[in-house]
């Protein structure tokens, strides 16, 4: 069965074979109390033979012997199975437990007891083996796929034709180049598959402990796991083989594979709302994204586990195989969205044009041969030969040469490439996404200093808090307790910010052992205490009783009773602590300064708080505020465990600021400035939190100091309300001297649009959003998404698949996107981007087309420079090969008119000595030393390039035709014969004794007479042939020099000494044989002797031809047309100032003025989607969104009103969103 008329996720047509599977039910989550999988088979075949250990028992088989299985149709595409659903009348994908939309309480009540063996086998029919299998194709399969390329098929046709025409030498050269090209390509592709297979296979199959429905624990292979299985996480940790949600215990996990941040994360068990008697109101549907704090993802490393009161650490399997987080990452590498580059599309169109030209010559050749009664074999060979002349079989090798040289230059500067075709695409990059940690910045933060508050005023800043006078201060106590650090194998681990902050205090952290925890049922606190050398002598307080005093003599310790983890939405974290010897508990708060200040009593916040904060943020520091509060005495240890966060985080006392420094790599600011000057946008996409990302973006110059940052906080639909976006300013730019902006959220007023148009357009702004907001906007604000990414600069907390989605959205508005990252979480984006470059030689290098040995972003401008040089080289080579074909086509067509042709060795000299030598040396121009603020054209079908090719074709056609007709008009011309050169009257009339080059020896005359019959058959030797051979040979060299362009993308051609040497040598040889003929060379090339005056005439024709070609290419094309096309690169606010004037400035201005008058009378609509959007937004009074406003998603269209009633009033709306009026 074949599924017809369907497209995959990339909107491409595909062909898939639909198979039939027999199963007990249609839904993998059906109850199997009265069913079994004993008769379930795949592909419609019932198994026979002896019973295997894993098959159901004979008793169950006998019990359900009368069972009739159901037929389920399915097909597999891109490692995903699609099953037919009668309900949906479509093919659907079963991803896992989330398909049931189970609530958190249901996960605990119905899915935490495990599956029976029968249920597991039944589900495995649908979900398959839990394995991420990367199959390495055989060399034979890869060879067949590579050889079926249209170019290689055409080359095979050409080689067969040339062999039939006894043109063996060039055929052998083409075969040799093709074999080398195919072998290199196969080696590269095979190596990529093997690397990816080895990366995925590592730790993908492990032994696991699975809990069955009867509470028995059995050992099994991870490949047997299915959604719904309950696995036991070992205490010594493991590599997760699937996505699973914790239902008991706690795990410490390294998720660097997903987030790129090598920071251990604590995963807690999924809360059970019904267990605490809170009812069903707080019972939400389980979602891996919303409950990622409780979800263990496939491929992440569980470092250690913690359990209480003898409980096992259990997790319910949610997704397996390619449905897991790691599986989706591998799928994005295996099946990337195809990159469509205009150059290659245009190349095929251009070749089709050449084929059309060849078709005309083909028909012309056949008609002429039939009229002149040429033998059938000769007609077939010569008419087909004109096709191989017009469409050059050497074109793939010629195009590859420039890319190979660029690849070699990249390797020389430490950039390795596994996808050479991407080098050309890198020349078009106009936007680059950067990961933050390890890419723009060094790993981690450094403590710059602290600034405490006393009596509602800031004290002077201090370098550190490691002092005896501060050891018992609330400020240091907050630094020592308000964190999420944990000990792993005796080493402190956690968020780098928390780690630096805690290390600055010098305190010691102690955690409860497993034995202590089991005795205290998960309430045994983590304890922190200062080193003894910092402690002063203890004093007795009047409030302390004797027992507490004795306890205080054992040391100053603070126990962390409860922790409210950091929330990116709330921008803060807090802890509840109790100091040894104190009756009352205390709360400490840490977070964004504005947020912390808003939760503190007004009389504790210094009046100059906003000014001090702004001073630090302007310097690029990351500022954290601390606060403290003594809790009520009625709050006991047990009550604190159930108290709400809002109750704790209120009426705090402001303690001061911690100033952290996120050190940039020294190369980062300079590289970003180079990219900005080159009109290349830079975007940060990171797994780190929003505030850090914005701070780093300002520090490195990605966001200039005077620019606004507008944060888009998107909220999903909830309680019947539509999704909405709350807009707010992240901070105040330098030019704004007011107080810090309050992060309030209000609805927009329709009248709030009054702002000066000039001021609004001159103000530059950047959007920042989190991964959660990005997901909501992608789903509910499709029309708004493209407008946001137009000025989106910071994307924080982005999951790996979201990074890939962002790259795709940027590409959808016609950006050429580069991606630079260093972690496995960047793999999908690196593969999807037009040019992905990895700074790591580990996982990311497998997916990334480019890998840099230099661990900083200086490789990015180098890659773009080489890409631009390679792209211009490709244009030059393509244009040269097109002209070579047409020039040769013109020569052959003219000669066909007199039933002549070029000789085999003339073809050989042109094809190998001139064309291959020139092609392989003209590609050697190195890249220009700096990035210029403009890009090369992206395709061949553009005005300047077409103008260049067509004008050169016309020039060459004109001069060849003129030479062909002119030679026939000469008084000495007659149909050539072997005796023409020795006729006395000819020599006496046209040759002076000192100048004649036609005196042939008697041996030569004899040789010519002996071969007269053979020469007459092909009629190669004649005056027209010799004239066109000389003129066309010089034309090849002329267009090679004219097309070999240098600045601003490549070094000048005179610095390419192999090309200069080759061109000069060929010129010298042609001049030599033109003015000093040697009989051996003339016989070899089958050229005839012509009078000396005609040789001078040929020289004159060639000289005028060269002058006209150079004038057309340099003056008309470079000065006039290219300037108009390059103006498309001015990207509104992202464009830098004009380039420095050159010596040609006045000529350029004149050329642009002449051409722009007819072209610019009507306003041009930009071709690029992002430029079109920028043009629309520049006149939109409601853009950018005002701060403190809300944008709401448009609800579904209302039903039609009853007949006779007017429709309800509408509000202003725009696509998928609308502005809501303030109430």
Task: Please check whether residue 1221 is in contact with residue 748, taking contact to mean a CB–CB distance below 8 angstroms.
Answer: yes
Residue 479: alpha-carbon gap to chain centroid:
40
DSSP letter for each residue of 1141-1164: P-TTHHHHHHHHHHHHHHHSSSPP
Strands (E), 839-946: 850-852
CA 448/CA 224 separation, integer angstroms:
52
Radius of gyration of the chain (CA): 38
How far are the Cα atoms of 261, 1109, 1161 from residue 1042, in angstroms, in the given order?
52, 7, 33
CA 1207/CA 1204 separation, integer angstroms:
10
Q: Which H or E run includes 74?
A: strand 70-77
CA 865/CA 678 separation, integer angstroms:
11
177: nearest Cα among 402, 399, 388, 397:
397
CA 544/CA 548 separation, integer angstroms:
6
Question: In terms of DSSP bridges, do strands 817-821 and 835-838 run parallel, antiparallel, or are they unpaired?
Answer: parallel
CA 586/CA 626 separation, integer angstroms:
13
Decide if 435 is catalytic: yes
Q: Work out the number of other CB atoms within 10 angstroms of the CB of residue 1145.
A: 10
Backbone φ and ψ for 1071, nearest 5 degrees, come out as -65, -40
Bridge partners of 437, per DSSP, are: 441
Q: Which H or E run includes 14?
A: none
How far are the Cα atoms of 392, 887, 896, 913, 1008 from residue 397, in angstroms, in the given order?
10, 20, 29, 16, 38
How close are the terminal C-alpha atoms of the chain, in Å? Answer: 59
Helical ranges in 128-239 per DSSP H: 139-147, 150-164, 168-201
Bridge partners of 1219, per DSSP, are: 1191
| DSSP annotation of 571 | T
Q: Work out the number of other CB atoms within 10 angstroms of the CB of residue 650.
A: 13
Bridge partners of 110, per DSSP, are: none
Residues in the chain: 1223
Q: Return all residues near 586 (Cβ < 8 A) that are at least 6 apart.
A: 474, 477, 576, 577, 578, 579, 628, 629, 630, 631
Q: Work out the number of other CB atoms within 10 angstroms of the CB of residue 376.
A: 9
DSSP letter for each residue of 247-276: EESEEEEE-HHHHS---EEEE-PPP-TTTT
Q: Largest alpha-carbon pair distance within the chain?
A: 140
CA 1124/CA 1151 separation, integer angstroms:
10
Q: Which H or E run includes 804?
A: helix 800-812
Task: Please check whether residue 314 is in contact with residue 112, taking contact to mean a CB–CB distance below 8 angstroms.
Answer: yes
CA 1113/CA 1108 separation, integer angstroms:
9
317: nearest Cα among 130, 168, 487:
130
1088: nearest Cα among 1130, 1025, 1139, 1031:
1025
3-state secondary structure of 796: strand
CA 784/CA 1214 separation, integer angstroms:
9
Which member of 229, 385, 435, 699 is catalytic?
435
CA 1209/CA 1215 separation, integer angstroms:
17
Catalytic residue numbers, as ranges: 435
């Amino acid at each position: 069965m074949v599924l017809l008329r369907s497209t995959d996720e990339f909107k491409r047509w595909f062909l898939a074979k639909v198979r039939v599977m027999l199963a007990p039910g249609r839904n993998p989550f059906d109850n199997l109390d009265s069913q079994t999988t004993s008769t379930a088979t795949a592909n419609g075949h019932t198994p026979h033979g002896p019973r295997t250990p894993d098959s159901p028992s004979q008793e169950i088989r006998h019990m359900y012997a009368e069972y009739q299985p159901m037929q389920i149709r399915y097909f597999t595409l891109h490692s995903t199975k699609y099953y037919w659903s009668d309900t949906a009348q479509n093919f659907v994908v079963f991803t896992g437990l989330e398909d049931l939309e189970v609530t958190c309480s249901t996960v605990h009540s119905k899915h935490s007891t495990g599956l029976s063996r029968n249920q597991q086998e039944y589900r495995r029919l649908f979900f398959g083996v839990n394995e991420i299998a990367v199959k390495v194709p055989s060399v034979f399969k890869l060879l067949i796929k590579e050889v079926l390329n249209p170019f290689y098929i055409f080359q095979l046709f050409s080689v067969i034709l040339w062999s039939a025409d006894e043109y063996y030498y060039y055929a052998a050269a083409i075969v040799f180049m093709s074999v080398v090209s195919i072998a290199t390509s196969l080696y590269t592709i095979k190596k990529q598959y093997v690397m990816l297979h080895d990366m995925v296979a590592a730790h993908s199959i492990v032994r696991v402990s699975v809990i069955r429905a009867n509470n028995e624990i059995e050992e099994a292979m991870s490949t047997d796991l299915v959604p719904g299985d309950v696995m036991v996480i070992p205490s010594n940790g493991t590599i997760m083989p699937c996505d699973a949600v914790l239902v008991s215990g706690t795990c410490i996990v390294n998720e660097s594979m997903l987030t790129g941040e090598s920071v251990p994360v604590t995963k807690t068990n999924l809360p059970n709302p019904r267990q605490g008697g809170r009812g069903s109101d707080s019972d939400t549907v389980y979602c891996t994204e919303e409950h990622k704090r409780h979800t263990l993802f496939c491929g992440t490393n569980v470092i250690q586990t913690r359990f209480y009161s003898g409980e096992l650490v259990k997790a319910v399997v949610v997704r397996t195989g390619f449905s897991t987080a790691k599986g989706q990452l591998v799928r994005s590498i295996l099946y990337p969205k195809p990159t469509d580059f205009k150059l290659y599309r245009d190349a095929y169109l251009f070749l089709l044009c050449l084929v059309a030209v060849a078709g005309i010559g083909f028909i012309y050749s056949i008609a002429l041969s039939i009229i002149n009664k040429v033998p059938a074999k000769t007609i077939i060979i010569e008419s087909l030969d004109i096709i191989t002349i017009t469409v050059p079989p050497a074109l793939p090798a010629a195009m590859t040469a420039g890319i190979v040289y660029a690849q070699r230059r990249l390797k020389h500067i430490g950039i390795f490439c596994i996808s050479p075709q991407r080098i050309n695409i890198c020349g078009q990059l106009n936007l680059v996404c950067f990961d933050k940690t390890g890419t723009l910045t060094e790993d981690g933060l450094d403590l710059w200093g602290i600034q405490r508050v006393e009596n509602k005023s800031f004290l002077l800043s201090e370098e550190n808090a490691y002092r005896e006078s501060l050891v018992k201060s609330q400020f240091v106590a907050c630094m020592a307790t308000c964190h999420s650090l944990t000990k792993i194998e005796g080493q402190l681990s956690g968020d780098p910010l928390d780690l630096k902050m805690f290390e600055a205090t010098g305190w010691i952290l102690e955690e409860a052992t497993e034995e202590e925890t089991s005795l205290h049922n998960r309430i045994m606190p983590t304890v922190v205490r200062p080193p003894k050398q910092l402690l002063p002598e203890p004093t007795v307080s009047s409030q302390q009783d004797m027992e507490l005093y004795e306890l205080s003599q054992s040391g100053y310790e603070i126990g962390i009773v409860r922790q409210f983890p950091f929330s990116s939405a709330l921008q803060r974290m807090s802890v509840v602590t109790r100091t040894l010897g104190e009756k009352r508990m205390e709360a400490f708060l840490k977070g964004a300064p504005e947020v912390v200040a808003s939760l503190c009593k007004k009389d504790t916040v210094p009046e100059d708080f906003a000014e001090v904060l702004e001073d630090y943020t302007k310097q690029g520091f990351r500022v954290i505020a601390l606060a403290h509060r003594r809790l009520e005495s009625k709050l006991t240890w047990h009550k604190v465990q159930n108290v709400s966060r809002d109750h704790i985080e209120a009426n705090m006392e402001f303690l001061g600021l911690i100033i952290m420094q996120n050190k940039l790599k020294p190369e980062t600011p300079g590289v970003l400035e180079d990219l900005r000057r080159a009109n290349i946008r830079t975007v940060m996409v990171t797994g780190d939190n929003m505030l850090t990302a914005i701070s780093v973006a300002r520090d490195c110059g990605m966001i200039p100091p005077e620019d606004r940052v507008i944060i888009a906080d998107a909220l999903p639909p909830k309680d019947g309300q539509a999704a909405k976006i709350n807009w707010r300013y992240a901070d105040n730019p330098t030019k704004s001297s007011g107080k810090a902006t309050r992060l309030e959220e209000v609805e927009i007023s329709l009248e709030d649009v009054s702002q000066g148009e000039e001021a609004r357009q001159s103000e530059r702004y950047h959007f920042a959003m989190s991964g959660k907001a990005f997901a909501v906007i992608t789903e509910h604000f499709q029309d708004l998404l493209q407008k946001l990414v137009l000025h989106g600069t910071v994307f924080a907390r982005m999951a790996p698949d979201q990074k890939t989605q962002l790259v795709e959205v940027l590409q959808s508005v016609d950006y050429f996107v580069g991606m630079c990252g260093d972690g496995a979480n960047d793999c999908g984006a690196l593969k999807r981007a037009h040019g992905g470059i990895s700074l790591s030689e580990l996982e990311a290098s497998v997916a990334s087309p480019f890998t840099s040995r230099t661990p900083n972003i200086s490789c990015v401008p180098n890659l773009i420079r080489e890409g631009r040089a390679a792209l211009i080289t490709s244009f030059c080579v393509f244009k040269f090969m097109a002209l070579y074909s047409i020039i040769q086509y013109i020569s052959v067509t003219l000669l066909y008119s007199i039933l002549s042709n070029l000789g085999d060795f003339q073809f050989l000299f042109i094809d190998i000595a001139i064309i291959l030598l020139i092609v392989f040396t003209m590609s050697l121009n190195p890249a220009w030393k700096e990035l210029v603020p403009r890009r090369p054209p992206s395709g061949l079908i553009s005005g300047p390039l077409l103008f260049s090719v067509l004008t050169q074709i016309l020039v060459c056609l004109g001069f060849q035709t003129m030479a062909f007709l002119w030679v026939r008009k000469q008084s000495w011309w007659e149909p050539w014969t072997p005796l023409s050169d020795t006729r006395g009257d000819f020599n006496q009339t046209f040759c002076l004794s000192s100048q004649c080059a036609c005196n042939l020896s008697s041996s030569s005359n004899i040789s010519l007479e002996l071969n007269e019959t053979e020469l007459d058959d092909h009629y190669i030797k004649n005056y027209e042939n010799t004239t066109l051979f000389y003129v066309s040979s010089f034309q090849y060299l002329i267009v090679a020099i004219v097309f070999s362009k240098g600045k601003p993308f490549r070094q000048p051609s005179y610095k390419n000494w192999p090309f200069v040497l080759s061109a000069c040598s060929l010129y010298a040889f042609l001049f030599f044989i033109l003015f000093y003929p040697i009989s051996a060379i003339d016989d070899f090339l089958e050229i005839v002797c012509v009078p000396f005056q005609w040789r001078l005439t040929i020289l004159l024709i060639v000289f005028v031809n060269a002058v006209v070609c150079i004038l057309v290419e340099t003056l008309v094309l470079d000065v006039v047309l290219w300037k108009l096309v390059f103006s498309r690169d001015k990207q509104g606010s992202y464009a830098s100032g004009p380039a420095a004037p050159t010596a040609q400035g006045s000529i350029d201005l004149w050329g642009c003025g002449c051409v722009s008058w007819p072209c610019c009378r009507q306003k041009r609509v930009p071709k690029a989607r992002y430029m079109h959007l920028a043009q629309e937004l520049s006149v939109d009074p409601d853009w950018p969104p005002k701060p403190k406003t809300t944008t709401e998603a448009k609800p579904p269209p209302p039903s039609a009103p009853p007949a006779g009633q007017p429709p309800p009033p509408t509000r202003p709306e725009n696509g998928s969103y609308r502005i809501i009026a303030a109430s």
